[in-house]
Chain A
């Protein structure tokens, strides 16, 4: 059925970890000490936006409110991403222990895992896992004997909408509404689920927190680069011999990665999923890092036989389908970009019109309400720019003259 359990190697996320150890350690520390270690670690969100996790947690911890919530974002909908699937199925202790640590640090009683509808097949095993945690007093009342520390986790199943991975759309969905992104500010840390302070964290971000609590922030930042500390789980798919989830330090070069996964005759690497950018050969010495080629983990590899216009069309069809339709730049803009691709396919375009569409893409980046419409033009612009010879000039076997 799903994943083949395999031994995975990596210096940070896949390093040794004993179930419950982060909870034990956290309960012996002060809340401020936990926040201090997180700040030391310089951990940034792994869900794509890269916001410093310690800042998010400090804001929620400092908020005064009746209730607070911690949400684990397991919506994993970005095309080409599947590392959260592996974490949830094979390393649930890392994710759930960090949620308990979060409950303690933030002063939240409720944790919710927003699990994408497509992952319903995991729900039962995750619920069994949570039940075992309750038995061992890792969840529930007075956790591990800590008087007054009560925290539990429930699972909320999504229903097939990519935009619900966006944190405010996710909250709308949990409140029983259409998954339409909210205006920001206010941010969820102030006005989140049910109007209460809420921390929304990606699955992998939480997994990193468990290690940081046990092994310290200083240990964590020994890995990676100065601005991008720790490691990244990369979901590698496409034209290569060994697709799968890899843990690599931030700062790894694209070319090193291609070698590692057995990719040959690579023409293009899409970094960051459909909403990311497409790099051509001349850029393969760039590094994976927040300060260079950033990614939530999706890496898709295309070899020289692939038709990049077809790849781009697939991405734009995705965005047309998944736009929530709430704001005009995104709702209409993505349709216009897709129509432009179809015009190129049929050979019925002018260069001046393509230029206009790229301008439209740049307008969408600034005028769209949420990250979907702000990033969907990325692949349109980068593929048409980086593969213009193939697409427009019939070089390298392109067929859209």
Chain B
């Protein structure tokens, strides 16, 4: 990684700390900021967070590894989370997953070659009355059909 880039991440973390504070309870909001911006929390970012909050890097790693929405490996620019829980499953989740996989030539659990999308299954999104449902980044979409789901993704830059 370039030295310049490293400094940029450090600066971002310092910004986050200004916003959330530098005590331990600010850890998750800070990690969320990094995740949102970089689609993952790199080893370097973890070390910097640890240094700036004065905790051991292993502590940071242990928290990152616990939460489904925080990850250590780079993901696509857009994260698609399709609900796999029972009501959405009964309402046709599998057909939607297949249509998306065909269209993007990418399996769930993976990232497209152009790094545009990561496809993931998620547990109940609280939209069971309007399933099947998915969240793309921070927007929720309901009453999906295979065609509609593909359309939504093709509208994303």
Contacts and interface: CB of A to CB of B under 8 A. Distances in A.
B52 interface: no
Contact of A80 (B26, B63, B128): B128
A67 interface: no
A160 B135 CA distance: 12
B126 interface: yes
Interface residues of A, number: 52
A2 B141 CA distance: 7
Interface stretch (B4-12, B85-93, B99-107, B110-118): B85-93
Interface in A277-316: 300, 302, 306, 311, 314-315
A397 to B, nearest CB: 16
A32 to B, nearest CB: 32
B141 to A, nearest CB: 8
Contact of B126 (A1, A119, A177): A119
Interface string B16-28: 0000000111111
A176 B27 contact: yes
Interface in B70-101: 70, 81, 84-87, 89-90
Given A76-B126, A176-B27, A194-B25, A157 B89 contact: no
B126 A81 contact: yes
A176 B28 contact: yes
A117 B32 CA distance: 10
Contact of B128 (A161, A162, A243): A243
Interface residues of B, number: 39
Given A2-B140, A159-B70, A237-B87, A178 B128 contact: no
A79 B86 contact: yes
Contacts of B68: 117, 159-161
Interface string A221-258: 00000000000000111110001110000000000000
B63 A79 contact: no
A126 to B, nearest CB: 13
Of the listed residues A178, A237, A239, the one surrounded by the most CB atoms of chain B closer than 10 A to its CB is A237
B150 interface: no
A174 interface: yes
Interface in A29-83: 76-82
Interface in A142-167: 156-162
A236 B129 CA distance: 7
B64 to A, nearest CB: 9
Interface of A: 1-2, 76-82, 84-85, 116-121, 156-162, 173-180, 194, 235-239, 243-245, 274, 300, 302, 306, 311, 314-315, 318, 321-322, 324
Given A80-B87, A194-B25, A235-B128, 17 more contacts: A77-B124, A79-B85, A79-B86, A80-B124, A85-B126, A117-B68, A118-B81, A118-B122, A119-B126, A120-B138, A159-B28, A161-B66, A175-B24, A176-B27, A237-B128, A243-B128, A245-B129
Closest 3 A/B residue pairs (Cβ):
A176-B27, A160-B68, A237-B128
